[in-house]
A and B are shown apart, each in its own frame.
Chain A
């Protein structure tokens, strides 16, 4: 009875604990995280030096002159922002996962560097600084999320509220945008405002949906794994219990389809199937629902001409008529993207030495092509490896959580990253129809970056032991 060992436990400061003495251990200073943050910093510095040397050479078609001040600001700013987030996490969540921030930081540094490099070529020399501002705001939001979700109750206990919040966000935007407008470029339908302050609620919508699915599924775990009617080896899902879920899913898909965000629709479906499978561990549900969705996809393919156009763009990409067509129906972008991937070769052209701006939307949809042209196949593989690490950490957090809601939430949020990466990379490589899904952290764009950092914040929170 008298083993006076060290006092263990978490070091949170929360609660009305008496002030004199504390039952705490020494603080965890997250040294691993600090060490891993060295690599994004190193990458940014090397990239900066490269860009400065390249811009010194006035040769046609090379990167245009980048004012040193505009180049230094993002690099130094990013380092300070990452260190700031690190220090904040020491105080807010000392026991959270220590690799998530460096992984997100690495991807963000690639994103800022690409914006920095592509900006001058697109006559937007401040593109890198803008992207940096988004990253700083994102990091702040990430720490804020970790802090605000110390108690997960307000997220966990109101699934319908979150579904409604998400639907309202997107619905209002849709009405604001004037509803179904067949001539607008598809990805811009769901955005509020214009110019630098435009905001795409669909990014937040994804998070709201994941929270809803996690909340609903975790409350109905038992019913789901027991199943409904049986036909021999087939077990039908308990439709009565699934109904609210399917209604929300259907509404979400309808909204998204009317906004013609096919990529978002694929994303939502994928997240739903992943979470349903994790919650019920019944492959038969997935096969059945997958079948229904396949039929739905065929119907949509018949009804909506834009879905047909998307597919024909990749099946007939090299047809000269399609290649030279009017912009929404032209495969120019897809073919130029492939050329960019190809001209990168194995080791790439070198940062600032390629011509990635021949591809339309090189900073957003085609940032992977721009990256691959300058860093080559080797660089692209490393990029994919970093994304795989991100998914690994997310899945690990999911498997280590003790409560069903936390597990499902971590899984769903990880699936958001994974599916987005796959959909846009496959689109860039002409493996599936191109859709306007941003590559997480790397593509230029504020809303997506902010949403991704909120997800990182939630994952950090879920990785804490005392869930």
Chain B
């Protein structure tokens, strides 16, 4: 009786070891398949959208009131057309400010612009974290953050 139990346990112990190895291999295979599929579909670099900016006051810039811009992990704002959110206004510097996604929140950073960036009425010095509902003012244009 004991002998049979011990034999079964002996086999069981080694089998558990091999099943553990196989399970990790399965996990690895699943990951690799995901990656191969992503590469095949050209999705290795999908555009990440972490929030939105809504124009609530176009000011002197040719923006549409209520227009919605996607916020990507790095979103730049300024007069130059190469920015993610181009704001063509004399009050706005060429590279005015940027929004950065980090550690689960969005941060607004002033890129040493002439007229500064304002979050909820306060001038941005060091990068400042914003939450949905915050108001961003660049030049005389104003935007609202939404999720």
A-side interface residues toward B, CB under 8 Å? 1-5, 7-18, 20-24, 32, 35-36, 39-40, 42-43, 46-47, 49-50, 53-54, 56-57, 98-99, 102-103, 106, 347-348, 350-351, 353, 375-376, 378-379, 382-383, 385-386, 389, 392-393, 396, 466
CA distance A4 to B73 in the complex (A): 15
For B2, what are the chain A residues with a Cβ–Cβ distance below 8 Å?
53, 56-57
The reply to whether B24 and A389 form a contact with Cβ atoms under 8 Å apart is yes
Residue of B nearest to A9 (CB): B50
The reply to whether A53 and B6 form a contact with Cβ atoms under 8 Å apart is yes
B40 at the interface (CB under 8 A from A): no
**Chain B window 8-32, contacts with chain A (Cβ cutoff 8 Å), 1 for yes, 0 for no:** 0110111011111101110110000
CA distance A22 to B131 in the complex (A): 7
B39 at the interface (CB under 8 A from A): no
Residue of B nearest to A10 (CB): B104
The reply to whether B27 and A98 form a contact with Cβ atoms under 8 Å apart is yes
Contact among A22, A42, A353, A379 for B6, CB-based, below 8 A = A353
The reply to whether A8 and B50 form a contact with Cβ atoms under 8 Å apart is yes
B125 at the interface (CB under 8 A from A): no
For B90, what are the chain A residues with a Cβ–Cβ distance below 8 Å?
none
Known contacts A15-B129, A386-B21, A389-B24; A23/B14 CB under 8 A:
no
CA distance A108 to B10 in the complex (A): 19
The reply to whether A40 and B70 form a contact with Cβ atoms under 8 Å apart is no
What would 15 A/B residue contacts be, using CB atoms closer than 8 Å? Answer: A7-B49, A8-B50, A12-B103, A21-B132, A39-B19, A43-B13, A43-B17, A46-B16, A49-B9, A53-B6, A350-B6, A376-B14, A379-B13, A382-B17, A386-B17
B-side interface residues toward A, CB under 8 Å? 2, 5-7, 9-10, 12-14, 16-21, 23-25, 27-28, 48-52, 67-70, 73, 101-106, 129-133, 147
CA distance A392 to B24 in the complex (A): 11
The reply to whether B27 and A392 form a contact with Cβ atoms under 8 Å apart is no
Residue of B nearest to A51 (CB): B9
The reply to whether A99 and B17 form a contact with Cβ atoms under 8 Å apart is no
CA distance A56 to B23 in the complex (A): 34
The reply to whether A17 and B131 form a contact with Cβ atoms under 8 Å apart is yes
CA distance A42 to B147 in the complex (A): 45
The reply to whether B21 and A47 form a contact with Cβ atoms under 8 Å apart is no
Min Cβ gap A13→B in Å is 7
CA distance A46 to B19 in the complex (A): 14
Known contacts A12-B104, A18-B130; A46/B13 CB under 8 A:
yes
Extra 10 A-B pairs, beta carbons < 8 Å, given A15-B103, A22-B105:
A9-B50, A13-B103, A14-B103, A17-B103, A17-B129, A39-B23, A98-B27, A106-B17, A382-B17, A386-B20
